Structure 1
């Protein structure tokens, strides 16, 4: 019975992960440099710089989204006011947009004919254009990540017990200690899970980068270029595996940290 229940999951894992990854790995092994291709992508300056840029940008997007959504999500849960539901709906609206639409919106905001460029041109006589570089991609990924984080944070914030905060304040704890010792631990499960999803999405997102790509050298774009324009299938496959393994390693570390946090949080005495 147990094997029968596990069968659908095993089929999905095999069909959508194990078999495709094995075929990609075979592309690397059958390439002109064989398994040395992995060494090449780590020693080649362009590939390594692209990997580091993707990693740093994804981490930056994740931290920014967690800070913004942590503050905003807690405020929306704790306060009831006219237009609250509208604001919540607008914050989650990007869930319905594909990456290409997000990229187009960034162009409308900060492109050559965008709103920011028109305003700065009128005020200072010089257009501020950043849609087509890493700053524009950062804004696009952040916009794309906010709904995923805000929903998880709001779900965690609704479970917070206000009496714990009142008890901390009654014992003389300042606001920063209440936030550090009561609110943040309560929000931590939502922050960790949504942060992991945010990071993984930013690492592999392609549509937004493709829409904005004029001076952006993130890893998904490098993989696309090597595969379609340079016909360098072995390098593209090696970069794909490196991207997948790096993302998987970060997610695994996050799960271990989350498990250790939960264990330490439930193991204390009164």
Structure 2
């Protein structure tokens, strides 16, 4: 057997899996989105229809807010955990990354136990002020759930990137009189930029398309994954739900591709 034949034989399983689980489903989804009464114009509904456009904006704002908050919290925590050694550090890291084992439905249920009608926050606020604070079923509860879901992923990335930083650069900056804030701003954060971009893109994509948490908290939430679900199951509108799915996938893919582009140029510049 020639080398080229052997390579083709090895690539056959990959090609089969790619065709069966990616190309064919995507082709069918694209076709379904154009089979409605409006034809290909169905793909413009996500922008032209006020209800869909509002839901898209809500989803984008929620994903952006989740990404920014996750990056801030996870960067501070990740740098601290990577550089400090103290009793119980391993247990703390395990606790912070434990949500990786939870599906979205479990995360949503935990938010209900925390900020639902019978939740801990409601009980405490009722005793302190007489008013029960309940926000689990709103966009604020979903934000908290996505934050809980995203922080572990970003922390692990930041810790891995911080481990590879050259301590000599920080020592040189300090010897030249740089303050701790200047060292963080001019040395540490630029070196962490590729990791921040990559992990931020993952957090954004997760918040854009996560369904389980939104489904659990779906009382007063209007985000794109829930809209797709209701259009398909309650309205029976297959074409619209398929078009919205394609639109959601394209926007998320563009964000990931943009992040890869920026992270790659950052790595090249640093090297």
2:18 counterpart (1, 4, 13):
13
Partner of 1:141: 146
Name the SS for the 2:39 alignment partner: coil
CA distance in 2, matches of 1:11, 1:152: 32
1:54 counterpart (47, 52, 59):
59
- Offset of 1:264 from its aligned partner? 1.7
- Offset of 1:16 from its aligned partner? 2.3
CA distance in 2, matches of 1:41, 1:189: 32
Structure 1 residue 200 corresponds to structure 2 residue 202:
no
Partner of 2:238: 233
Worse-superposed segment, 192-201 or 203-212: 192-201
Q: List per-residue Cα deviations over 1:47-106 (Å, max 9, x = no partner).
A: 011111111111111111111010001001111111111110110000110100000000
TM-score by length of 2: 0.95
- Offset of 1:175 from its aligned partner? 2.0
- Offset of 1:13 from its aligned partner? 2.7
1:185 counterpart (171, 190, 193):
190
CA distance in 1, matches of 2:204, 2:220: 22
Structure 1 residue 99 corresponds to structure 2 residue 92:
no
Structure 1 residue 41 corresponds to structure 2 residue 72:
no
Partner of 1:171: 176
Structure 1 residue 254 corresponds to structure 2 residue 259:
yes
- 5+ unaligned residues in a row in structure 2: which ranges? 1-5
> For 1:54-73, what aligned pairs fall within 5 Å after superposition?
54-73=59-78
Structure 1 residue 151 corresponds to structure 2 residue 156:
yes
- Structure 1 consecutive aligned stretches of length 4 or more whose deviation exceeds 4 Å: none
1:131 counterpart (136, 139, 161):
136
1:88 counterpart (59, 82, 93):
93
Q: 1:12 to 1:111 in 2, by over 3 A?
A: same
Name the SS for the 1:35 alignment partner: helix
- Offset of 1:42 from its aligned partner? 1.4
CA distance in 1, matches of 2:224, 2:23: 22
Partner of 2:3: none
Q: List per-residue Cα deviations over 1:227-268 (Å, max 9, x = no partner).
A: 0000011000000000000000111111111111112222xx
What is the root-mean-square deviation of aligned Cα atoms in Å?
A: 1.2
- Offset of 1:9 from its aligned partner? 3.2
Structure 1 residue 265 corresponds to structure 2 residue 270:
yes
- 5+ unaligned residues in a row in structure 1: which ranges? none
CA distance in 2, matches of 1:87, 1:250: 32
CA distance in 1, matches of 2:148, 2:7: 42
Q: 1:32 to 1:205 in 2, by over 3 A?
A: same
Q: 1:188 to 1:8 in 2, by over 3 A?
A: farther
CA distance in 2, matches of 1:20, 1:40: 22
- Offset of 1:22 from its aligned partner? 0.7
CA distance in 2, matches of 1:4, 1:77: 44
Count how many residue pairs are aligned between Structure 1 and Structure 2. Answer: 266
CA distance in 2, matches of 1:263, 1:78: 26
